[in-house]
Amino acid sequence: MTNGPITSTAGRARTALIIGGGVAGPAAALALRKAGIEARIFETHRPGTGSKGGPLTLASNGLSALRLLDADAGLAAEGIATPRMVIQSGTGKVLGTVETDPDLPMCLTLPRGRLADLLRERAAAEGVPIVYGKRFVDAVDTGHSVIAQFDDHTTAEADLLIGCDGIRSVARRLVDPAAPEPRYTGLIGLGGYIDGPSGVPSTGGSFHMIFGRRAFFGHLSDGERTGWFANLPYKHLDRDAVRETSFEEWTRLMRAAFADDAGPALDLIDHMTPEGFIPASPLEDLPHVPVWSKGRIALIGDAAHATSPSSGQGASLAAESAVVLAKHLRDLPVERAFAAYERERRSRVERVIAEAARTNRSKAAGPVAARFRDALMPFFMARFATPERAAWQHAYTIEW
Ligand SMILES: Cc1cc2nc3c(=O)[nH]c(=O)nc-3n(C[C@H](O)[C@H](O)[C@H](O)COP(=O)(O)OP(=O)(O)OC[C@H]3O[C@@H](n4cnc5c(N)ncnc54)[C@H](O)[C@@H]3O)c2cc1C
């Protein structure tokens, strides 16, 4: 269903180019369609070439945003319902439990790459054209349209362009050549899935997160599939070394990191395979991107507001921003819509990013700080990790 503009259509966009077919791109295309704007997605990768991805948890707020777009229904079949997070120390002590508010959509964990596949499939089913193998390199704002340029020397033109091209966005450079680079968090992220027996039983909907003595480990299992991730602190990052480190070497490093912790990490490492293992990557964020739009080009998702994975919110924020931007484009001329979108979104996303940065510091704590963390966390979790305290994040809903 499409909703038309509510007053005059003067200055309103009718067509859009969307760069990137991850989470933000398909969500934006669906939201724009709902707003009466025809969108096309341009994605650099070809279908089936990306990795399935490690476990990603979609929070209630992200699912609410996707529900507005009728894009949530197909996700549950591919994921593991995750009503609770159990936070533990390396000794096995439970530091706190975070339950999904039963009045909100239940959090869902699914492979990161599959989430993007499913959202693209949903957009395609709604008639959104998706052009693969198109690497966006530049754009010209003519004043009344945008012409996107791709590395195969082809172009595409529409009333506006939305950069959904992730944390290393090319569109971000176009709206602000001085835009900041992603910031390294001090943690390397590893993760993946184990299909079939994993040496650990079903976690019954709990995602266990362990602040270990040397590193952080998370896992959940429905008995048939087990998703896991590890965050290893490395102060000084050597990107080439990270890229070149083999699966065998990572499992050796993880065995050493988790050797003294209670919990299932060592059993799971024994069951990991190179096929289910997602290449390690430095975890990064963008605490403040000063410029989100220029002329007829705007940014959403990680291109504008990348949070580190520790928030469990990056995909949810991308979906929310897609809906909010489309809502304003439905009602306002392009530049006013971009400004209204930024006003509505900036403080929320930057607060999430800042909270995740604090969590990252706890994950990379030294032995003394870790003892304080483990002693104080139960107190803070009991007071601050309640559904009421988390409502600003999880109960966020958008009035369409
Ligand atoms: C290890 C890890 C774990 C995470 N866990 C969670 C979690 O539990 N919960 C959560 O909510 N979030 C999580 N996130 C964050 C989440 O994945 C991102 O916030 C989300 O994917 C952002 O969506 P996006 O569409 O903005 O960017 P992306 O998903 O990165 O998509 C960008 C797309 O643009 C394409 N692209 C890039 N450049 C170009 C170009 N020049 N031309 C054309 N196409 C281009 C890319 O190929 C890609 O398909 C995690 C991230 C990581 C790295």
The CATH class for the domain spanning 15-79+110-182+286-361 reads alpha beta
Question: What are the sequence ranges of the domains in the chain?
Answer: 15-79+110-182+286-361
Residues 6+ away with beta carbon under 8 Å from 101: 60, 387, 390, 391, 394, 395
- Structure-token pair, residue 162: 């939305």
Question: What's the chain's length in residues?
Answer: 400
Choose the residue to mutate in 17, 56, 119 for probing ligand 1, maximizing ligand atoms within 8 Å of C-beta. 56
CA distance 218 to 391: 23
Q: What is the mean pLDDT of the chain?
A: 93
Question: Is pLDDT of 374 > 90?
Answer: no
Q: For residue 24, report the distance from its CA to the centre of ligand 1, in Å.
A: 8
pLDDT in tens, 86-132: 999 999 999 899 999 999 999 999 999 999 999 999 999 999 999 99
Q: Tell me the pLDDT tens digit for each residue of 257-298.
A: 999 999 999 999 999 999 999 989 999 999 999 999 999 999
Mean of the pLDDT values across residues 26-40? 98
Is residue 45 within 6 Å of ligand 1 at its C-beta? yes
What's the pLDDT score for residue 2? 39
Q: How far is CA 345 from CA 92, 323, 381, in A?
A: 38, 11, 27
What is the best residue among 98, 169, 284, 302 to mutate for testing ligand 1's pocket, by most ligand atoms within 8 Å of CB?
302
For ligand 1, atom 27: residue with the closest CA: 166
For the cut 70, the answer to whether the pLDDT of residue 8 exceeds it is no
299 lines ligand 1 (CB under 6 A): no
Q: Determine if ligand 1 sits within 6 Å of the CB of residue 26.
A: no
For position 285, what pLDDT does the model report? 97
pLDDT in tens, 154-211: 999 999 999 999 999 999 999 999 999 999 999 999 999 999 999 899 999 999 999 9
Percent of the chain with pLDDT over 90: 84
pLDDT at 380: 67
- Residue 362, pLDDT score: 78
Q: Is 85 in the pocket of ligand 1 (CB under 6 A)?
A: no
- Residue pair 167/284 in contact (Cβ under 8 Å)? The answer is yes
pLDDT tens figures, 44-81? 999 877 778 899 999 999 999 999 999 998 999 999 99
Dump pLDDT digits (tens) for 312-359. 999 999 999 999 999 999 999 999 999 999 999 999 999 999 999 988
Closest to 52 (Cα-Cα) out of 3, 103, 117, 109: 117
